[in-house]
Amino acid sequence: MRLKSIFLPLGTFIVAAALSLGFAQLATTVVEDRSSTAVQQALLDKDFDWANVEADGLQVVLSGEAPTEATRFRAISTAGSVIDATRVIDNLSVPDTTTIAPPKFTVEMLRNESGVSLIGLIPTGTDREKLIDQVTKEADGAPVADFLETADYTVADSWEGALEFGIETLSKLPRSKISVDADRVSVKAISDSASQKRSIESDLSRSAPDDIRLVMDITAPRPVITPFTIRFLLDEDGARFDACSADTEKSRDQILAVARDIGLEGQATCTVGLGVPTPRWSEAVTTGIKALNEMGGGTLTFTDADVTLLAAKGTPQSKFDRVIGELENTLPDIFVVSATNPVVETAGADGPPEFTATRSPEGQVQLRGRLPDALTTQMTENFAKAEFGSDKVILRTRLDEALPSAWNVRVLAALEALGDLNNGSVLVQPNLVEVKGVTGDPEARTKMTRIFNEKLGKGQRFDIDVEYQKKLDPVAGLPTHEECIAEIQSALEDRKIAFEPSSASLDIPSRDTVDRIAETLKKCDGLKLEIAGYTDSQGRDTMNQQLSQERANAVLTALRDRRVSTSTITAVGYGEADPIADNETAEGREANRRIEFRWIKPEPVVEEPTALEEIEQDAASETAKTEETTAETTDEQN
């Protein structure tokens, strides 16, 4: 009885304790579930879906990687707004943002008469000794100052090619600054002449790697003209210059103005340069042009201080004597006049002896006519082969021992002039050397004039009938960016770029269109384009955008495969945006599936005023203020 009274209360207590523990555990579980669920929902509402929530008793543990430290703090605050902040355990992480961005590798090569300086940052893996040796070799053994630093970072694949191209460019430019980046080579240089400038620009454009953007700033100082030459003709074909040199822009304008007064038409150029024999050059030249006009026609040549005037055939001797006398007395004393009034000659039955050379557009050169002896024949053939190529020359001449003296000099001078023509002919006679043809060199007539003045001597007659054609000019003949865009649009209008159904593979007819566009782009250096791809509205937006991007990329790849430099071309897919036709019809959907080429025009450059211009502007402003103050004072006095 007694034991029963003891165990009964004890059992009751144990059962009560077990029930209390069970209810406590159940309550804890309920609290854990509700807390974690509430916190998880609050985080999702704030788009913190990267955060994981786990309950540990009454505590809530947050884990996961927050994009930034600020986002991590907002996630913790959000959880603390749902439950007691002391119950929130922060196990969140943030990506390491202390990684240092890799440096930009670049080399500046400065070359002048004293040597080459290398400045910049190169990868540690670059063979420094090899680089210095290569620069020294390309700079003709000039001393090289090494100011390069190194850094151990990954370098772009195009770095080696850009550096090689920069060094090759250095060898062609003795006065230059060449800046090399992984995807860009910038060239600043001084050339000796305008023609050399054009040649350098053309050469660099052709040799630049496809994946390198080339930026050129080649300047040509005022050339030294030797000899200073003017050759002006006035005949039944009108007035024209074969060569024109001037010492200043004002002198050039005066010479051209007088020439236009007596019949010069169209665009005429006069090279401004150094080397004039006298400051009174324009005065002398304009006097000579007026004298030629008074004579009634002929040819006037100034070679430094030597003046040669060849009157037109049939000029009365009295007029000739009077005009020449006035010219000799009017010109400055430094000039010496040599004048000829040609006599009409009667030729024999066979006419005067001749030598002719013709050059075809394909480059074939045929030599015909008379040469005085076997030695001159061999010399002429060797000269022609050296000038035009040994496989381009065809010799069909015959010997004539009765030819005038210096015949071989006239022949070689004519062949040298023929070398400045793309195609044409030269004719050599005892009293005439004549050149006819077309050229892509705007300075060809001037060069020929100097050749004949130097080789034939004073008073010798020569005619130059040479036409400059821009399309033959390797630099000026290149189309403008506007013309490039027009050619591309014309190709797309003739046949659009299309693809195999639901793919990014060009269909066969479209390859001809891409070929045409590629040939155009090869002539359009530096043209910045966007290749825009579009689809119709069928299908999901995401898939259409992806397909349009793949098709734009396919066109870009096709251009690259055709050796087009694509460093300034980007490809963008716009999906079904910007339809140009109704997507409810088959024809409209076909029109909307298209590739467009868009010209990304550069922003206009606002040039900052130079120091001199700023001084002049300040002076003008102060002058204006002074004048305004003076005017106000005068008004008050009145």
pTM exceeds 0.75, yes or no: no
Residue 254: is its pLDDT beyond 90? yes
Q: Are 372 and 336 in contact (CB under 8 A)?
A: no
pLDDT over threshold 60, residue 627: no
Helix (H, G, I), strand (E, B) or coil at 61: strand
Facing residues of 215 across strands? Answer: 186
The pLDDT of 297-314, averaged and rounded, is: 91
Q: Which long-range contacts (CB under 8 A, 24 or more apart) does 471-478 make?
A: 471/440, 472/422, 472/438, 472/439, 472/440, 473/440, 473/441, 473/442, 474/198, 474/202, 474/440, 475/198, 475/201, 475/202, 476/198, 476/442, 477/440, 478/523, 478/524, 478/525
- What does the pLDDT average to over 329-356? 78
Instruction: Please give the pLDDT value at position 552.
Output: 93
Q: Assess whether pLDDT exceeds 60 at residue 605.
A: no
pLDDT at 350 over 70: no
Residues whose CB falls within 8 Å of the CB of residue 552, separated by 6 or more in sequence, listed in order: 531, 532, 533, 571, 572, 573, 595
499 Cβ contact partners less than 8 Å away, ≥ 6 residues apart: 505, 506, 507, 510, 551, 554, 593
For the stretch 531-556, pLDDT in tens is: 999 999 888 888 889 999 999 999 99
Q: Which pLDDT belongs to residue 361?
A: 86
Band of pLDDT at residue 281, cut at 50, 70 and 90: very high
pLDDT at 95: 76
d(CA 395, CA 381): 7
What is the structure's pLDDT at 607?
Answer: 46
Q: What is the DSSP letter of 478?
A: S
Residue-wise pLDDT for 180-196, tens only, equals: 988 889 998 888 777 77
Q: What is the pLDDT of residues 472-501, one digit of tens each?
A: 776 665 677 888 889 999 999 989 999 888
C-alpha angle 220-221-224 in degrees, rounded to nearest 5: 115
Q: How far apart are CA 465 and CA 85, in angstroms?
A: 96
Torsion, CA 130, CA 134, CA 135, CA 139, rounded to 10: 150
pLDDT of residue 636: 46
Angle, CA 485 vertex, CA 480 and CA 486 arms, to 5° = 95
Weakest-pLDDT range from 46-60, 67-81, 208-222, 606-620: 606-620
Higher pLDDT, 135 or 57: 135
- Cβ distance 220 to 196 under 8 Å? yes
Q: Across the strands, what pairs with 423?
A: 438
Check pLDDT > 90 for residue 613.
no
Of 204-213, 364-373, 375-384, 388-397, minimum mean pLDDT range: 204-213
- What mean pLDDT comes out for the span 240-249? 91
pLDDT at 603: 58
What average pLDDT does this structure show over 626-638?
Answer: 45
Structure tokens at 220: 């040509």
pLDDT for the residue numbered 630: 44
| Residue corresponding to tokens 């065809």 | 394
Average pLDDT over residues 347-365: 80
> What are 69's two structure tokens?
């430290």
Cβ neighbours around 239 below 10 Å, total: 20
Cα–Cα distance, 585 to 575 (Å, whole number)? 18
Which of the pair, 100 or 445, is modelled with greater confidence?
445
What's the CA gap between 63 and 96, in Å, rounded? Answer: 16
- Over 173-217, what HEC string results? CCCEEEEECCCEEEEEEECCCHHHHHHHHHHHHHHCCCCCEEEEE
Over the chain, what is the mean pLDDT?
Answer: 82
The pLDDT assigned to 156 comes to: 83
**Measured distance CA(364)–CA(357) in Å, rounded:** 10
Q: Give the C-alpha separation, 408 to 404, whole Å.
A: 9
The arithmetic mean of pLDDT across residues 371-400, rounded, is 89
Q: Give the model confidence (pLDDT) of 588-598 as tens digits.
A: 989 999 999 99
Token readout for 436 is 């006819």
Q: Report CA torsion sign: 268, 271, 275, 278.
A: positive
Residue 178 pLDDT > 60 = yes
Largest CA distance in the chain: 174
Phi first, then psi, for residue 96 (nearest 5°) are -70, 115
Q: Which two tokens stand for residue 112?
A: 């002048």
Nearest to 260 by CA among 236, 280, 234: 234
Cα distances (Å, whole numbers) of residue 308 to 251, 382, 558: 20, 33, 61
The pLDDT value recorded for residue 96 is 65
Contact in structure between 214 and 204 (CB atoms under 8 Å)? yes
Q: Are 367 and 384 in contact (CB under 8 A)?
A: yes
pLDDT for 606 equals 45
Q: What is the DSSP letter of 472?
A: G
- Give the residue, 598 or 201, on which the prediction is more confident: 598
Residues 622, 457: Cα–Cα separation, whole Å: 60
More confident residue, 28 or 113: 113
φ/ψ region of 51 (left if φ > 0, alpha if ψ in -120 to 50, else beta) reads: beta
51-55, 442-446, 578-582: which range is least confident on average? 51-55
Give tens-digit pLDDT for 122-133: 888 888 888 888
Confidence of residue 633 (pLDDT cuts 50, 70, 90): very low
- Amino acid identity at 140: D
Average pLDDT, stretch 362-367? 90
Q: Tell me what pLDDT residue 637 has.
A: 44
Q: For residue 594, what are the CA distances in angstroms to 8, 489, 545, 577, 588?
A: 93, 13, 13, 11, 11
Which range, 99-103, 211-215, 436-440, has the best average confidence (pLDDT)? 436-440
Summarize the confidence of residues 200-215 as an average pLDDT: 81
The pLDDT value given to residue 261:
93
Q: Rounded to whole angstroms, how far apart are CA atoms 412 and 418?
A: 10
Which one, of 411, 419, 451, 426, lies nearest residue 358 by Cα? 426
Q: What is the mean pLDDT of residues 304-332?
A: 89
Cβ-based neighbours of 443, under 8 Å, separated by 6 or more = 194, 195, 271
Q: Count of CB atoms within 10 A of residue 138's CB?
A: 19
**What pLDDT does 33 receive?**
67
pLDDT tops 80 at residue 263 = yes
- pLDDT confidence band for 612 (50 / 70 / 90): very low
Phi (first) and psi of residue 92, to 5 degrees: -80, 150
Alpha helices for 389-534 (secondary structure H): 407-418, 444-456, 481-494, 508-522
Q: Which residue has the tokens 């955008």?
A: 545
Over 70: is that where the pLDDT of 428 sits?
yes
